[in-house]
Amino acid sequence: MQIHDVRNILDACLEPWRYKDYAPNGLQVEGKEEINKVVTGVTASQALIDAAAARGADAILVHHGYFWKGEDARICGMKKLRIRALLQHDISLLAYHLPLDGHLELGNNAQLGKVLGLEPAGQAGEQGLLWHGGWAGGGDAAAFADHVSGALGRTAQLLGRPDRPVRRVAWCTGGAQGFFADAIALGVDVFITGEASEQNYHMAMESDVAFIAAGHHATERFGIKALGEHLAQVSGINVEFIDVSNPV
């Protein structure tokens, strides 16, 4: 299969034109035309590129790619080394940011909800990226944070009252701590995202809505893995997910 056919499959699935994003979605660096093996991962780091090259990958598919708005446009330093490695190995780079967050089945939010056993009820907030729904597991915020930690394989940070009963949950993967006020307005008991900012602690204490920071990387592993599995199913291409560990 050719690289542009792969891109077309992914574009048709994720519909990137529906989103206002901070980086170009789709094919970011073009390598060889014929694609037989694809490596997927959360971020197009040097470690992922090196692992993909060692496995003979023809393309890399990630959530966090390159060319973010507001960054230095020059191809220097770390960016030079990454792009040089892609070009030397003739590896294409495809990246989907907000379209992967928002997809109703394969997306990061959908997949995180599935992993945690949440019952989605709808989407809200900016571009529909804030999900909300129910939790039938019972218990308080401390017990729910333990559940999140076990499901994601890392210790989640809980802000707010640990004995807060949990029935209604809002979530948005990655760095969505800025959505906390929107989550509070939904009337939920707890909000889950990847990272926390200083003000989130005070908001949690004063609103009596718990806040769980479960890890940017940890909350966004599942969407890109599901997207790769979808690509393999519809194209027949060999797709391998590589989880380059990141404690953030």
- Report the sign of the C-alpha dihedral through residues 36, 37, 42, 47, in that order: negative
User: 152-176 in b/e burial notation, b at 16+ Cβ within 10 A?
Assistant: bebebbbbbeeebebebbbbbbbbb
Region of residue 160 (phi > 0: left; psi between -120 and 50: alpha; otherwise: beta): left
Q: Is 63 annotated as a binding residue?
A: yes
Binding residue per annotation — 217?
A: no
**Does the annotation place 64 within a ligand binding site?**
yes
**In this structure, what are the phi and psi dihedrals at residue 62, rounded to the nearest 5 degrees?**
-135, 170
Alpha-carbon dihedral sign for residues 109, 23, 234, 242:
negative
**What is the CA 167 to chain-centroid distance, rounded?**
24
Contact predicate 138/196, CB 8 Å: no
Q: Which of 82, 80, 30, 89 is nearest to 54 (CA)?
A: 89
CA distances from 21 to 26, 61, 66, 95, 160 (A): 12, 17, 12, 12, 31
Burial class (CB in 10 A: 0-12, 13-18, 19+), 242: middle
As annotated, the binding site for a divalent metal cation includes 63-64, 101, 216, 220
As annotated, the binding site includes 63-64, 101, 216, 220
